[in-house]
Structure 1
Amino acid sequence: MKDDFMRNIGRGSSLHAELWEIIWALKRAWDMQWRRVIIETDCWEAVELLSTGWAEDHSEGHLVTEIRSWLDKEWQVSLDRYHRDANGATDALAKEALNIEIGAVFFSSPPSLLTPLLASDIA
């Protein structure tokens, strides 16, 4: 885990939350001056919207537009999708974020709740 975070955004759809997470991850990576970045998500709809485009009246179009502007910067960003079952640690952080106040918590090393999950993700 190079740098990770969890954030509670309050109410919204899972797509809305995932798109915000992608924006915050891109902003964080840019601020850290990382110019080769891999963003991983289990939200297939987010990946499709970002790769194939979206209708102008899509409810999340403003977020997709912002992400596209981040992706167009001078850096290498890969957006990869995975099955939720393949990354229990990420799923646990998403669930734990519901228990924190609105805002973000950043980690430079894995929180203790992830120790058993990281071992199973590696296996």
Structure 2
Amino acid sequence: MPGEPHQLILQYALEWFNATNLPSLSYVPSIVQLHWIAPTYGVCKINTDGSRNCVSGLISAGGLLRDNYGAWIKGFSVNLGVGSVLEAELWGIFWGLHLAWESGFRDVEVESDSSVAVALLSSSTISTHPLFSLIRCCKLKVQDGWSCSVKHIFREQNVAADVLASMSSEFGTGVQYFTEVPTFLASCLAEDAIGVTRSRVVCA
């Protein structure tokens, strides 16, 4: 037995890490211009987002349905109690799918700025995952006899859903549906419809 086994283990771990990792590359930050992209004719686009209050731990979600002109169809917001951001993102996708289905759409595209939520819906999930039931419900809705895709986008392309999710705390508990455009969302929708771009810093 070595005199200091923890030092030996640490040394081996560092050697393995250095041997299996590629040399670090220098990434140069650059600015790209992003905007909301309308769906093709006949397709309903669902944008969703989740929000969490860091102080209270309360989570909420919001989303909206739009056509190929960027015109408002319907929207929703929902207060969900205490939870995680990922939970809020998944509930947003669930309620967005539910609203689109109940509204009679059968060709839909879902967009979320949560890469983790999108990845969970496109891969197999172990039954011990803490959000397994919610993930499974979302997957069942995606596969429920219609043309449905789920895609990750950046926050700069998802501003309207982000605003709805953030404003959810202003409304009552449970799910709130909006048939008319909320006044606080009008300018954002107009900007999306004409393709106004928003800046994002990325590393190339």
TM norm structure 2:
0.56
**Which structure: larger Rg?**
2
What letter corresponds to residue 133 of structure 2 in structure 1?
H
| Structure 2 residue aligned with 1:13 | 84
Q: Deviations over 1:63-83 (max 9, x none)?
A: 111111112221001112211
Residue 40 of structure 1 aligns to a residue whose secondary structure is strand
TM norm structure 1:
0.89
Q: Deviations over 1:1-36 (max 9, x none)?
A: 222111111211111111112222222222222111
Q: Which runs of 5+ in 1 are unaligned?
A: none
Correspondence list, 1:46-61, <5 A: 46-61=117-132
What letter corresponds to residue 11 of structure 1 in structure 2?
V
Does 2:74 match 1:33?
no
* Higher fraction of helix: 1
Give the deviation of 1:97 after TM superposition.
0.4
Runs of 4+ with deviation above 6 angstroms = none
The one of the two structures with greater contact order (alpha-carbon pairs below 8 A, sep at least 6) is 1
| Structure 2 residue aligned with 1:119 | 190
User: What do you get for the CA RMSD once the two structures are aligned?
Assistant: 1.5
Give the deviation of 1:96 after TM superposition.
0.2
Q: Which runs of 5+ in 2 are unaligned?
A: 1-71, 197-204
What letter corresponds to residue 93 of structure 1 in structure 2?
L
* Higher fraction of strand: 2
What letter corresponds to residue 84 of structure 1 in structure 2?
R
The separation in 1 between residues aligned to 2:105 and 2:119, in whole angstroms, is 24
Q: Deviations over 1:95-114 (max 9, x none)?
A: 10022221122122321101
Q: Deviations over 1:19-62 (max 9, x none)?
A: 11222222222222211111111111110001122222111111
Contact kept, 8 Å, 2:89 with 2:117, in 1: the verdict is yes
The alpha-carbon distance between structure 1 residues 73 and 87, as it changes in their structure 2 partners (threshold 3 A), is closer
Does 2:177 match 1:106?
yes
Residue 119 of structure 1 aligns to a residue whose secondary structure is helix
Q: Which moved more, 1:25-34 or 1:47-56?
A: 25-34
